[in-house]
Amino acid sequence: MSGTIKLGSIFAGSLGAVAILWFTLALPWPTTSLGNRYQLWSISLVVSLTLLCFTFELSWRNMLRLLGVLVLLGSILGRLAIIQFLEGDKTPLDKSNIFAILSEQGSLGIITLGAALLILTGGIDLSVGSVVGLAAVTFGTLMEMGCPPLAALAIVLLLGVAIGFTNGLLVTQLKLQSFLVTLCGMFMFRGFARAINTSNTGLQQAKSNHPEFAESLDSMRALLVGKAANGAVEFPATLVVMMLLAAIVAVILHKSAYGRYWFAIGYNDQAARYAGIGVERQRLSVFVICSTLAAFAGILLLLWGGSANPSNAGNSYELYAITAAVLGGVSLKGGECIAAGLILGALVQPIIFNWMSFDQIPDSAQLWVMGLALLSGTIADELIRRFRRRAKG
């Protein structure tokens, strides 16, 4: 029973689910006009979901990897629904709360995509959180110094490319372990963030220094994170940005030669080398993708939160990203990854935090719950490998 099920039925089912979501949240329908940017985002969401559905192979093997996270998400959603219907004054399924969760999922999902690709090819990036922080601080500081928002965005993305390139070169050319290189990077990039700005940086500061940026900055904020100037979430735009990126990753991963190279490298890099794959070049490109996505997430972090502290912006994000990737079906040993799973994995952490707030679970419990989630993921990962090996042998 390892064959694929008809793609058409998956697509129809997914569209049905999207339609229900649309009705529930009363989102703007994509068919009316293109005047509203959120309608454009709605179309993008549908296109991304379609691409994700078409690249997803509904085999027993994939289902096994994703069923667990689905059960986890389903049980938390169920609990939120119980709260919604039994405790009248609490409204976790309110549109604005769902938007908040989906937006958190979006920004976490973007770094998860990069982290997952790196884990897939047998590497790891512990500097992701610091890169997110450095990017957020650089983005804010550049604007405070008079760099227009769009130019600042481009510079920060280039910074991400440069960081990924450096990490990648150190790993592929000097043959250093990615764990160590990125561990050093974690300290260095945090240090750079603190050296760039000793104080908090933020959108209000940039606007008060340069009132001429206010309009473009507000539009950028509305477009990329869906927030109005007063901070109200109008649309989970971050989710759409993440979905678009996930769809691109899905096509590369599951439908292109590059994807096959990456799976091969992660599964057995020596064999991949003998097969004529440019292992080092492929690994370098994945490092660049990972850091660039982290830098982009840093930009979104500043736009979403409005402010970034050089000392702690993006702290521990690398761990959240790795957790999300593992829960989404990535094997820490490399060679296994499902693009659609990453989206689900990235939803776990935001929804757990949200649920804990509604159930008034003490703040001190939050970290052990995340830790337990990662642990159960890795234990299950190991057990399923042994189970399969035994079944084969």
Partner 1 sequence: MRVLALMAFAGLLATLPACTKKSGSGKVKVAIVTNCTADFWLHAEAGAKKAAAENDVELDFRQPKTQTVIDQMEIVEALLKQGIKGLAVSVINPEEQTPDLTRIAGQVNLVTMDNDADKTGRLCYVGVDNYLAGKEAGRAVKRALPKGGTIALFIGTTTSANSKDRVAGVLDELAGSDNRAEIRKGNFQEKYGVYTLYRKAPITDETEEAKARTNAESALEQLKNTPDVAMVGLYAYNPKAILTAVRGKNLVGKVKIVGFDEDFDTLDGIDKGEIEATVVQDPYQYGYVSVTCLAYVAKGGDKTKIPQKEIKHRLVTKEGTMIKGVDVEILKASVFSTTTRESLAAVK
Give Cα separations from 110 to 38, 208, 343 (angstroms). Answer: 20, 30, 9
User: CB under 8 A: which stretch of 112-120, 202-210, 247-255, 285-293 binds partner 1?
Assistant: 202-210
Among positions 43, 100, 188, 244, the unique one binding partner 1 when judged by CB under 8 A: 100
Among positions 22, 165, 258, 358, the unique one binding partner 1 when judged by CB under 8 A: 358
Chain center to CA of 243: 9
Residue with tokens 């994170």, as numbered in its chain:
225
In the Cβ-directed half-sphere of 84, how many Cα atoms lie within 13 Å? 14
Q: Does 198 bind partner 1 (CB under 8 A)?
A: yes
Q: Does 307 bind partner 1 (CB under 8 A)?
A: yes
Q: Does 313 bind partner 1 (CB under 8 A)?
A: yes
Q: Please, which contacts does 324-328 make with residues 24 or more away whose CB atoms are closer than 8 Å?
A: 324/108, 324/109, 324/112, 324/115, 324/348, 324/349, 325/112, 325/115, 325/116, 325/119, 326/374, 326/377, 326/378, 326/381, 327/68, 327/69, 327/72, 327/373, 327/374, 327/377, 328/66, 328/69, 328/112, 328/116
What letter would DSSP give residue 256? S
Can you tell me the distance from the alpha carbon of 386 to that of 306, in angstroms, rounded to the nearest whole number? 47
Q: Does 203 bind partner 1 (CB under 8 A)?
A: yes
Q: Does 2 bind partner 1 (CB under 8 A)?
A: no
Element housing 293 (H / E): helix 279-305
Asked if residues 170 and 227 have their Cβ atoms less than 8 Å apart, the reply is: no
Among positions 97, 105, 291, 349, the unique one binding partner 1 when judged by CB under 8 A: 97
Can you tell me the distance from the alpha carbon of 150 to that of 125, in angstroms, rounded to the nearest whole number? 27
CB of 314 to partner 1, least distance (A): 9
CB of 242 to partner 1, least distance (A): 17
Among positions 13, 146, 191, 231, the unique one binding partner 1 when judged by CB under 8 A: 231
Q: What is the DSSP track for 120-139?
A: HTT---TTHHHHHHHHHHHH
CB of 377 to partner 1, least distance (A): 7
Among positions 96, 173, 209, 216, the unique one binding partner 1 when judged by CB under 8 A: 96
Among positions 141, 167, 172, 205, the unique one binding partner 1 when judged by CB under 8 A: 205
Instruction: Write the binding mask 54 to 93 for partner 1: x where contact by CB under 8 A, - elsewhere.
Output: ----------xx-xxx-xx-xxx-xx------xxxxxxx-
**Region 275-304 residues binding partner 1, contact defined as CB under 8 A:** 301, 304
Q: Does 333 bind partner 1 (CB under 8 A)?
A: no
User: CB under 8 A: which stretch of 111-119, 142-150, 179-187, 230-238 binds partner 1?
Assistant: 230-238
User: CB under 8 A: which stretch of 50-58, 152-160, 163-171, 369-377 binds partner 1?
Assistant: 369-377
CB of 346 to partner 1, least distance (A): 15
Among positions 32, 359, 368, 371, the unique one binding partner 1 when judged by CB under 8 A: 359
CB of 28 or CB of 306, closer to partner 1:
306
